[in-house]
Amino acid sequence: MRSLQDLPTPCLLLDLDILRRNVARMAEAVARHPGVALRPHMKTAKNAQVADLAAPGKGAITVSTLAEARYFAEHGFRDQIYAVGIVPAKLDAVAALNQAGNAVKVITDDLEVARGIAAHPGPIEALIEVDVGEARAGVTAEDPALLAIAAALGPRLAGVASHSGHSYAGRSLDEMAAIAEAERAGVVAAAERLRAAGHAVRIVSAGASPTALHARHLEGVTEMRAGVYMLGDLFQAQIGTHGLDDIAVTVLASVIGRYPRRDAALLDAGALALSKDRSTEKAPRDWGFGRVLDLDGRPTLGDAVVTRVHQEHGELRAASGTLPLDRLPVGARVRVVPNHACLTAAAHERYHVLEGGRLVAEWARVNYW
Amino acid sequence: MRSLQDLPTPCLLLDLDILRRNVARMAEAVARHPGVALRPHMKTAKNAQVADLAAPGKGAITVSTLAEARYFAEHGFRDQIYAVGIVPAKLDAVAALNQAGNAVKVITDDLEVARGIAAHPGPIEALIEVDVGEARAGVTAEDPALLAIAAALGPRLAGVASHSGHSYAGRSLDEMAAIAEAERAGVVAAAERLRAAGHAVRIVSAGASPTALHARHLEGVTEMRAGVYMLGDLFQAQIGTHGLDDIAVTVLASVIGRYPRRDAALLDAGALALSKDRSTEKAPRDWGFGRVLDLDGRPTLGDAVVTRVHQEHGELRAASGTLPLDRLPVGARVRVVPNHACLTAAAHERYHVLEGGRLVAEWARVNYW
């Protein structure tokens, strides 16, 4: 079996031990809520082996692209919500999956689209997207459009879905709990309003990793969607989703230049391998374009961060103190912890999987659309 | 043949007419300089058909990854510079390409690496990377390391290479010309110093699109490397590389939500399909995450830009005035012009090629490493 010294750089490492721990923690957190299921969002991991851990027994999942829907269906995950607003042109593809025995549900907040779903000859169910404060997508629980869309869907209405992406602005467990409660109240209010109008609302779906972990109660919700918790990242570590040691993905990179005069080194992981996500810019600790660990994943390189990126270059500097440049000759290998796992992982074709510190497998990712 | 209405969204469009115009313009600009060749950098386009236009007759090219080196070698482009600092672990792969009849040259600014290149059993030539002011990589022309590295390389020294990425900070043609001259002077000084010490310096390679276009003279330089000019983007349009109408790539996207109350729409192209590059933030005109055109590529949707992105969601708003939301029902298609073509294109598996406004081909990209 290859070692970390043999892998071509840059490449993506996945620590299976951390992944398992993260998956167990979320499963426990959601299990505190009777009647609430976890529907893991596979948009971050985009891999079937990870789905087997997060949704054991080919459980219900969430996807973000048609490519994911097809891939996970092929891998036996039949119960899916495709959680990006559907357009008419994508209905045939969803119906084809469902005719093959899957149950891929779509979401919409649009009356015309609801009519199109109702009129489609193939089997398609839809959830109505509810805006619980993020103002990204959805109708509010009070909006007259909610009832109109439900009426248009008729028996194809499967439920309601909300997303509390604004939970990412929360900075304390109390704030997270408050955002979770606002989301819960909003999506349940929408469900109750529909039920009062005579509609069956089977699924009441809410989600995002922080709220799934920190909600105090989830009464009326039937499932939570969450994804980034599996891999974790520097941003989530700062909003209480997990600790700094719970980040399962890192980018393995090589030093390609060493510059003692300016106390810097250069890595072969840049804007493509790391992404240009700067989400930690607004977090308590700004990690630049990533935190830099040694080959074993330990923080022994001082306060090392990636400070600047070009397409295939990442500049390594010490955020405080100095770099141990004697340990960073050209060819030395380091691991970069990402700001935002969803984006960094998407740049890579596959995971190199570590278990007990040893490489044990390569797992593919379903990138693109 | 499919139309733009049939393509799955999001996807990447390449306008062949604009590409040809951009390629011709750069070829003419470099041809003004006797003795200077254009060595197109394929890191942006990552496609052999584009290379056939930019480097006709299987001409010399530049690459940024081993994956590109292998791919372009397979497509007949034997003369390459792999223009990211080489590490010892990648030398075997380069030597294997060269043993198969290619001439892939590497770059380094490191004495130990130079010794490793000299000692490698396979055929590998190297250029010494020269820092001409960007302070990213390279040794300066005055640095004693320059001569030491050349001595270590011995007969494997092919030349010197510089990169003026700081030209991206230029804002006028005069500034660009000044940066180009500083780069020219720096890289030529390095070459002359090496020659004075008895080294043969065959290649004196400089580059970046703005300096290749705007250099007043290039005496002593043998070739210019440039890449982004082929596709163009909103950032380059603002630093004088080309006009706003010269951007050959756009992301085709569908409206997935329409929100008249906040004068916004939502697209199915977000952080992955567009990238999170915000290079225009510091340019005269901040285009958010991209400029939004109609399906024909015309600016008829008002002052429409992508203002916010999530993984698969892009929020469409009017930077001034209002959006013509009557023309943007769910399912409507638009084209998003990227801030930074190198990053946006890298998210996509292939180009859907337009010629005379019609889809004529699909061209693959060599992504990953």
**Are A139 and A281 found together in one domain?**
no
**Are B182 and B261 found together in one domain?**
no
Which residue in the block uniquely carries the two structure tokens 């996509």?
A: B348
Full DSSP string of B187-200? HHHHHHHHHHTT--
Give the whole-angstrom CA distance, residue A85 versus residue A87: 7
Q: Output the six-digit token pair for B155.
A: 């007969």
Which amino acid is it at B39?
A: R
Cα torsion at A148, A150, A152, A158 (round to 10°)? 170
Q: Output the six-digit token pair for B342.
A: 């190198």
Contact A87 B347 (CB under 8 A): no
Three-state SS at B344: helix
Q: Which pLDDT score is estimated for B336? A: 98
**Are B338 and B275 found together in one domain?**
yes
Q: With beta carbons under 8 A apart, name residues in chain A contacting B85.
A: 256-257, 266, 268, 330
Pairing relationship of beta strands A358-364 and A350-355 according to DSSP bridges: antiparallel
Q: A190 phi and psi, to 5 degrees?
A: -65, -45
Three-state SS at B204: strand
Q: Does B311 touch chain A (CB under 8 A)?
A: yes
- Are the CB atoms for B226 and B62 separated by under 8 Å? no
Q: Which pLDDT score is estimated for B135? A: 80
Contact B342 A311 (CB under 8 A): yes
Cα A208 to Cα A108, A224, A227: the distances in Å are 18, 8, 7
Which residue in the block uniquely carries the two structure tokens 């993260």?
A: A22
Q: Output the six-digit token pair for B195.
A: 């020659």
Q: Look at residue B54 and tell me if it is in a domain.
A: yes
Kind and range of the H or E run holding A126? strand A126-130
Q: Which pLDDT score is estimated for B210? A: 87
Within the 204-263 window of chain A, which residues sit less than 8 Å (CB to CB) from chain B? 254-258, 262
ipTM of the complex: 0.97
Q: How far is A277 from chain B (nearest CA, A)?
A: 6
Q: Which of B231, B264, B297 is the last residue of a domain?
A: B231
Q: Which pLDDT score is estimated for B165? A: 72
**Are A81 and A179 found together in one domain?**
yes
Nearest residue on chain B to A366, judged by CA atoms?
Answer: B349
Give the whole-angstrom CA distance, residue A81 versus residue A37: 13
Contact A268 B84 (CB under 8 A): yes
Q: Does B68 touch chain A (CB under 8 A)?
A: no
Contact A369 B262 (CB under 8 A): no
Contact A272 B343 (CB under 8 A): yes
**Are A62 and A202 found together in one domain?**
yes
Q: Output the six-digit token pair for B238.
A: 């603002």
Give the whole-angstrom CA distance, residue A345 versus residue A351: 8
Nearest residue on chain A to B343, judged by CA atoms?
Answer: A272
Within the 171-210 window of chain A, which residues sit less than 8 Å (CB to CB) from chain B? none
Q: B338 phi and psi, to 5 degrees?
A: -80, 150
Residue A217 burial (C-beta neighbours within 10 Å; 0-12, 13-18, 19+): middle
Instruction: Mutate one of A136, A225, A339 to test the B interface: name it (highest B CB count within 10 A).
Output: A136
- DSSP 8-state code for residue B255: E
- The CATH number given to whatever domain includes residue A290 is 2.40.37.20
Q: With beta carbons under 8 A apart, name residues in chain A contacting B113.
A: 330-331
- Closest among B8, B17, B11 to B360, alpha carbons compared: B17
Domain of B358, in residue numbers? 248-364
- Closest among B205, B220, B172, B287 to B34, alpha carbons compared: B220
Residue A262 burial (C-beta neighbours within 10 Å; 0-12, 13-18, 19+): exposed
Q: With beta carbons under 8 A apart, name residues in chain A contacting B10.
A: 369
**Are A175 and A269 found together in one domain?**
no
Give the whole-angstrom CA distance, residue A364 versus residue A255: 26
**Facing B87 at nearest CB: one of A109, A271, A331:** A331
Which residue in the block uniquely carries the two structure tokens 């390279």?
A: B138
Contact A255 B137 (CB under 8 A): no
Q: Which residues pair with A6 in a beta bridge?
A: none
Q: Look at residue A309 and tell me if it is in a domain.
A: yes
User: Count of A–B CB contacts within 8 Å?
Assistant: 150
Nearest residue on chain B to A106, judged by CA atoms?
Answer: B256
Give the whole-angstrom CA distance, residue B127 versus residue B110: 11
Q: Look at residue B166 and tell me if it is in a domain.
A: yes
Q: Which residues pair with B352 in a beta bridge?
A: B13, B362
**Are A179 and A253 found together in one domain?**
no
Q: With beta carbons under 8 A apart, name residues in chain B contacting A5.
A: 89
Q: With beta carbons under 8 A apart, name residues in chain A contacting B368.
A: 347-349
**Are B222 and B144 found together in one domain?**
yes
Q: Which of B204, B231, B258 is the last residue of a domain?
A: B231
> CB A180: neighbour CB atoms within 10 A?
28
Lateral strand order in the sheet of A61-63: A37-40, A223-226, A203-207, A157-162, A126-130, A103-108, A79-82, A61-63
Q: Look at residue B238 and tell me if it is in a domain.
A: no
Per-residue pLDDT of chain A (369 residues; tens, 9 = 90+): 689 999 999 999 999 999 999 999 999 999 999 999 999 999 999 999 999 999 999 999 999 999 999 999 999 999 999 999 999 999 999 999 999 999 999 999 999 999 999 999 999 999 999 999 878 899 999 999 999 999 999 999 999 999 977 777 777 888 888 989 999 999 999 999 999 999 999 999 998 898 899 999 999 999 999 999 999 999 999 998 999 999 999 999 999 999 999 999 999 999 999 999 999 998 999 999 999 999 999 999 999 999 999 999 999 999 999 999 999 999 999 999 999 999 999 999 999 999 999 999 999 999 999
Beta strand ranges found along chain B (DSSP E): 11-15, 37-40, 61-63, 79-82, 103-108, 126-130, 157-162, 203-207, 223-226, 249-259, 264-267, 291-293, 304-310, 313-318, 333-337, 350-355, 358-364
Q: Look at residue A48 and tell me if it is in a domain.
A: yes
Nearest residue on chain B to A65, judged by CA atoms?
Answer: B312
Contact B310 A258 (CB under 8 A): no
Q: Does A369 touch chain B (CB under 8 A)?
A: yes
**Are B220 and B317 found together in one domain?**
no
Beta strand ranges found along B178-332 (DSSP E): 203-207, 223-226, 249-259, 264-267, 291-293, 304-310, 313-318
**Are A37 and A99 found together in one domain?**
yes
**Facing A312 at nearest CB: one of B84, B255, B348:** B84
Q: How far is B53 from chain A (nearest CA, A)?
A: 23
Domain count, chain A: 2
- The CATH number given to whatever domain includes residue A184 is 3.20.20.10
Q: Which pLDDT score is estimated for B1? A: 64
Contact B9 A277 (CB under 8 A): no
Q: Look at residue B20 and tell me if it is in a domain.
A: no
Q: Find the distance separating the first CA and the last CA of chain B, reported in whole Å.
A: 32
Full DSSP string of A129-188? EE-SS--SS-B-TT-HHHHHHHHHHGGGEEEEEE--GGGGG--SHHHHHHHHHHHHHHHH
- DSSP 8-state code for residue B26: H
Q: Look at residue B303 and tell me if it is in a domain.
A: yes
**Are B319 and B223 found together in one domain?**
no
Q: A243 phi and psi, to 5 degrees?
A: -90, 175
**Are A313 and A216 found together in one domain?**
no
Give the whole-angstrom CA distance, residue B342 versus residue B83: 15
Q: Which of A203, A230, A257 is the last residue of a domain?
A: A230
Contact A331 B271 (CB under 8 A): no
Contact B315 A136 (CB under 8 A): yes
Q: Look at residue A340 and tell me if it is in a domain.
A: yes
**Facing B310 at nearest CB: one of A5, A108, A165:** A165
Give the whole-angstrom CA distance, residue A238 versus residue A249: 16
**Positions of chain B with pLDDT lower than 50, given as ranges:** none
Within the 84-113 window of chain A, which residues sit less than 8 Å (CB to CB) from chain B? 84-90, 108-110, 112-113
